[in-house]
Amino acid sequence: GGSSLWRQALHLLWLLKTISLAIDEYKPQDATTNPSLILAAAQMPAYQELVEEAITYVKPCLEKKKKKKDKMGNFTLYVLFGYNKKMLSFDKDAMVARARRLIELYKEAGISKDRILIKLSSTWEGIQAGKELEEQHGIHCNMTLLFSFAQAVACAEAGVTLISPFVGRILDWHVANTDKKSYEPLEDPGVKSVTKIYNYYKKFGYKTIVMGASFRNMGEIKALAGCDFLTISPKLLGELLQDNAKLVPVLSAKAAQASDLEKIHLDEKSFRWLHNEDQMAVEKLSDGIRKFAADAVKLERMLTEQMFNAENGK
Ligand SMILES: *[C@@H]1O[C@H](CO)[C@@H](O)[C@H](O)[C@H]1NC(C)=O
Ligand SMILES: *[C@@H]1O[C@H](CO)[C@@H](O)[C@H](O)[C@H]1NC(C)=O
């Protein structure tokens, strides 16, 4: 029936999520994924067996869908392939609806919403979707593609659970677009951005967790030691474990209190204005949305092709 289709769909999602993570060695408490990570993993020979297993699970759903276009079959496809929804990043209601459906599906599979963070782009619409999900539905959100101070302030005011401001991608932009090609960790524009956000949140008592992400080197990580959480790749985690120097906290609530930041309030107009003043953030945000959309299309195409091949091979 419908709900077993859902379960199969979920199983595929779980498998895809699992293969997208090379994390066994470090026993992290959380795992994260996105269309680009899944696409990269699904193309690695090492994970082909899992991809095939996943396809075996989802094939019956597709066959059913071909026979009769029942609502459930349609919906299963929507879940599996739904990353590829044009303009999702700019449609608040669509984001809320989609997040609530995913949470329902996970609930059916016995996974409570407390274990799940819905990842949303930090566009104005995404941030407002996060606000509604948190306030009205108790659904926790992880705001991603966050590059500007304006985005961080709006997220704090929306009361989302977690933001993941990028460090390395900010550095990349400055290296590509200015004459300066290398930075000391404390001068690194990505480090400075996250430091400012952290200080602002702590100084004004916002509960939103700051989880710095996308690091290019160990120096960036060390310069942000003390941040609530950091997402660190297995490679850099390995380097850190090898490194004998002690990690000293750089960020602290005390230093945040001492900073000279002033509290601001952003409505839609002032958000759009302030964000637009930051050329790097404008370019990186659009770039990020474009890239996820393109990878989602590729992933969808690849999985569909493999499914048809599997069918024809029989
Ligand atoms: C089913 O799919 C069609 C086209 O693919 C779409 O327009 C429609 O909204 C979908 N219905 C549901 C319930 O998902
Ligand atoms: C939140 O999303 C970022 C990507 O923007 C990821 O690096 C991070 O691990 C996620 N955090 C959690 C707790 O899932």
Alpha carbon nearest to ligand 1 atom 4, residue: 74
**Closest to 87 (Cα-Cα) out of 116, 129, 117, 142:** 129
Nearest to 144, CA basis, from 249, 292, 304, 305: 292
Identify the nearest ligand to the CA of 212 by its number.
2
231 lines ligand 2 (CB under 6 A): yes
Q: Is the CB of 69 under 6 A from ligand 1?
A: no
Residue 312 within a domain: no
Residue nearest to atom 6 of ligand 2 (CA): 32
Which ligand minimizes its atom distance to the CA of 118? 2
- Count up the domains in the chain and report the number: 1
Distance, C-alpha 181 to centroid of its chain: 28
Write down the residue that tokens 């996060």 correspond to. Answer: 130
Q: Is residue 196 part of a domain?
A: yes
Q: Is residue 218 part of a domain?
A: yes
- The domain of 198 spans 9-302
Q: Report the predicted TM-score, pTM, of the whole model to 2 decimal places.
A: 0.79
User: For residue 101, how far is its CA from the centre of ligand 2 (angstroms)?
Assistant: 20
How many CB atoms sit inside 10 A of residue 49's CB? 10
pLDDT at position 193, please? 98
Looking at all shown ligands, the one closest to residue 81's CA atom is 1
Ligand 2 center to 142 CA (angstroms)? 6
For residue 75 and ligand 1, the question of a CB distance below 6 A is answered with yes
1 belongs to a structural domain:
no
Task: For the chain, 314 residues long, give each residue's pLDDT as a single digit of tens.
Answer: 344 445 555 555 555 544 444 444 454 555 566 666 667 767 777 667 666 766 665 666 556 555 544 444 444 444 444 444 555 788 999 889 888 988 887 777 677 888 888 889 999 999 999 999 999 999 999 999 999 999 999 999 999 999 999 999 999 999 999 999 999 999 999 999 999 999 999 999 999 999 999 999 999 999 999 999 998 887 888 888 888 778 889 999 999 999 999 999 999 999 999 999 999 999 999 999 988 888 777 877 777 777 667 666 65
Q: Is residue 2 part of a domain?
A: no
* Distances, alpha carbon 154 to alpha carbons 54, 123, 126, 142, 148, in Å: 39, 10, 10, 13, 10
pLDDT at 296: 75
Would you say the CB of residue 144 lies under 6 angstroms from ligand 2?
yes
8 Å CB contact between 163 and 146: yes
Q: Could you identify the atom of ligand 2 that is nearest to the CA of residue 214?
A: 7
3 state SS of 127 = helix
Asked, for residue 310, whether it belongs to a domain, the answer is: no
What CATH number does the domain containing 27 carry? 3.20.20.70
**Closest by CA position to 169, among listed 213, 135, 199:** 213
- Atom number in ligand 2 closest to CA 146: 5
CA of 164 to the centre of ligand 2 (A): 6
> Is 117 touching ligand 2 by the criterion CB < 6 Å?
yes
Q: Is ligand 1 within 6 A of the CB of residue 81?
A: no
Q: Is 33 in the pocket of ligand 2 (CB under 6 A)?
A: no
pLDDT given at position 248? 87
314 found inside a domain: no
At which residue do the structure tokens 């071909």 appear?
66
Active site residues: 119
